[in-house]
Homo-oligomer: A and B are copies of this chain.
Amino acid sequence: MEKKKNTKNNIIRSFEEDPINWYTDIIFKAELMLYGPTKGTMYLRPYTISIWNLIIKWLTKEFSKNGVEEVKFPLIFPKSLLDKEKKHIEGFAPEILLITHIGNKKLTDFNVIRPTSEMLFSDYFKKTIKTYNQLPVKLNQWVNIMRWENNTRPFLRNSEFYWQEGHTVHNTEEEAKKFSILIHEIYKNFLNKILLLPIISGEKSTNERFAGAINTYTQETILKDGQALQVATSHYLGNEFAKSVNFKIQNKENKYFYPFQSSWGTSTRLIGGIIMTHSDNKGLVLPSKISPFQIVIIPIKNKNNDFNFDNFLNTIYSKINRNFRIKIDNSDNSFGYLIKNWEIKGVPIIIEIGAKEFSNSNLILKIRSESKKRIIDLKDLNAKMISNFLKEHDKKIKEIALNNFLNKKIWISSLEDLKKNIIIGNVVYCYWIEDSKLEDKIKKETGATIRLLYNEKKSAKSVNKEDITTQVAIFARSY
């Protein structure tokens, strides 16, 4: 009964016909999450946590190389602390979860669940940093945060999500800014080379910038549907934050000054980005470096088959040196179900061993991003071969994602073309001189925003003013 039901469950609606249900079908059938009892919360299932832990491991290693240390700061804090940062808080006010009671007892000072932890880092820095020779201080935490959302979508927009927030303090403007750009580059490299996402990167316009930041550097990925998804940002904060909370320290001459800060973050949104970029109509497709299993081996069982697979599997293991994350699926389900299940879960390589393969000492190997099956002689199998197959898989899915982006990418040179192309779902590039009012107008009319600004080597006439500029804006709709 179970098997029948599962097989039926393996149908995924097509992206082309029903993109919304395609997305949720993948999420449920790849067993990534279930909805929690409270709207916008999720039960993150083992497969998701395996992916997330691999992401944490990669990024933490990079942060650590650059002197960043890990902390965990409080989940809740008094609302009064939040109210102090008026400027910063405006964006959050309606989304904040308020704790008013402990048991039946009303609190005199209400508490909030952190929507972000700027205020806590400020408080901590003030308490622990007194002089210039303690700097730089570079801290990061991997934690959950909450911001109430009315329109939720798994991984893309949740009331509770997991993220990493880094906060640093430096003696000079230059050092702080340099560090925020260094982190921006770490994100870019990770998104490009590990997650294999088609990334656009640059700086936010004044309208879209993080409140209180001097520069907001952003990494965004272009999803299968042409929408942009902001996946990682790094802010250079100057000493505006320090001034607003009166965080002063002593320099060499024992005089007080406001130190310079950066902050930066990425979140479980990344998982939404991976799904929406790489998946196909058979299910999830995972980049090999963050796939919980890189190879799944399925020994095909049937009534006439009581081979001792152990030797066969041991031979495979010894040949590929256990260098990879390998799963042997010995479960009771039918062969057809197992193949479909691991396809839906996006495993880069599936190896099948049936009666025929067993007798002939070979195996059937299928790369998730290819349609063909390969027959591999067991004696030819080695770690290098597997490594090459994983590279092929990664190259292929990166190409597909990039091509999809390039199909949506268009350069335009008139405002009329700008709107026309946004409306049909393109990612629009144009020379642009900052103009908040026009930007607002376009947003109202089309729903699209400037995702980021960057500079081309060559200048050209801007689409919105008479001037020449090297600055390019990328307009797109976004999640």
Chain A residues with a Cβ under 8 A of chain B: 1-2, 34, 36-38, 41-46, 49-50, 52-53, 69-78, 81, 93-105, 111, 113, 120, 123-124, 127-128, 130-131, 133-134, 139, 143-144, 146, 148, 160, 162, 250, 254, 332
Check A99–B98 contact: CB distance below 8 A.
Answer: yes
Q: Which of A77, A96, A101, A332 has the most CB of B within 10 A?
A: A101
Check A98–B95 contact: CB distance below 8 A.
Answer: no
A72 contact set on B, CB distance < 8 A = 44, 49, 52, 144, 162
Return the 7 tightest CB-CB contacts between A and B, nearest first: A46-B69, A41-B74, A36-B74, A98-B101, A94-B103, A44-B72, A102-B148
A69 contact set on B, CB distance < 8 A = 46, 49-50
In whole Å, how far is A322's beta carbon from the nearest beta carbon of chain B? 15
A75 contact set on B, CB distance < 8 A = 41, 75, 113, 144, 146, 160
15 pairs, A vs B, C-beta closer than 8 Å:
A2-B133, A2-B134, A37-B77, A37-B120, A38-B78, A43-B73, A43-B120, A46-B70, A49-B69, A49-B70, A72-B144, A98-B101, A103-B148, A143-B144, A144-B144
A279 and B447 CA atoms in complex are apart in Å by: 61
A406 and B162 CA atoms in complex are apart in Å by: 45
Check A102–B111 contact: CB distance below 8 A.
Answer: no
Check B74–A120 contact: CB distance below 8 A.
Answer: no
In whole Å, how far is A117's beta carbon from the nearest beta carbon of chain B? 10
A1 and B71 CA atoms in complex are apart in Å by: 27
Check B34–A127 contact: CB distance below 8 A.
Answer: yes
Check B99–A113 contact: CB distance below 8 A.
Answer: yes
Q: A43-B124, A44-B73 are in contact. List 20 more A-B contacts (CB 8 A).
A: A37-B123, A38-B111, A41-B75, A41-B77, A49-B71, A49-B72, A50-B70, A72-B162, A75-B144, A93-B103, A94-B105, A95-B102, A95-B103, A96-B103, A97-B101, A97-B102, A97-B111, A99-B100, A133-B332, A143-B144
A128 and B9 CA atoms in complex are apart in Å by: 13
A130 and B94 CA atoms in complex are apart in Å by: 40
Check A71–B100 contact: CB distance below 8 A.
Answer: no
Pick the contact of A36: B50, B70, B77, B101 (CB < 8 A): B77
A101 and B71 CA atoms in complex are apart in Å by: 29
Check A73–B103 contact: CB distance below 8 A.
Answer: no
A77 contact set on B, CB distance < 8 A = 36-38, 41
Who on chain B is nearest to A145 by CB?
A: B75
A98 contact set on B, CB distance < 8 A = 99-103
Check A41–B127 contact: CB distance below 8 A.
Answer: no
In whole Å, how far is A243's beta carbon from the nearest beta carbon of chain B? 20
A175 and B143 CA atoms in complex are apart in Å by: 35
A95 and B36 CA atoms in complex are apart in Å by: 23
A44 contact set on B, CB distance < 8 A = 71-73
Pick the contact of A120: B36, B50, B146, B160 (CB < 8 A): B36
Contact of A71 with B97 at beta-carbon distance under 8 Å, contacts A77-B38, A124-B34, A133-B332 already known:
no
Contact of A46 with B71 at beta-carbon distance under 8 Å, contacts A113-B113, A127-B34, A133-B332 already known:
yes
Check B38–A1 contact: CB distance below 8 A.
Answer: no
A332 and B43 CA atoms in complex are apart in Å by: 48
Check A76–B46 contact: CB distance below 8 A.
Answer: no
Who on chain B is nearest to A144 by CB?
A: B75
A34 contact set on B, CB distance < 8 A = 124, 127-128
Check A46–B139 contact: CB distance below 8 A.
Answer: yes
A248 and B376 CA atoms in complex are apart in Å by: 45
A113 and B38 CA atoms in complex are apart in Å by: 11
In whole Å, how far is A66's beta carbon from the nearest beta carbon of chain B? 14
A103 and B147 CA atoms in complex are apart in Å by: 10
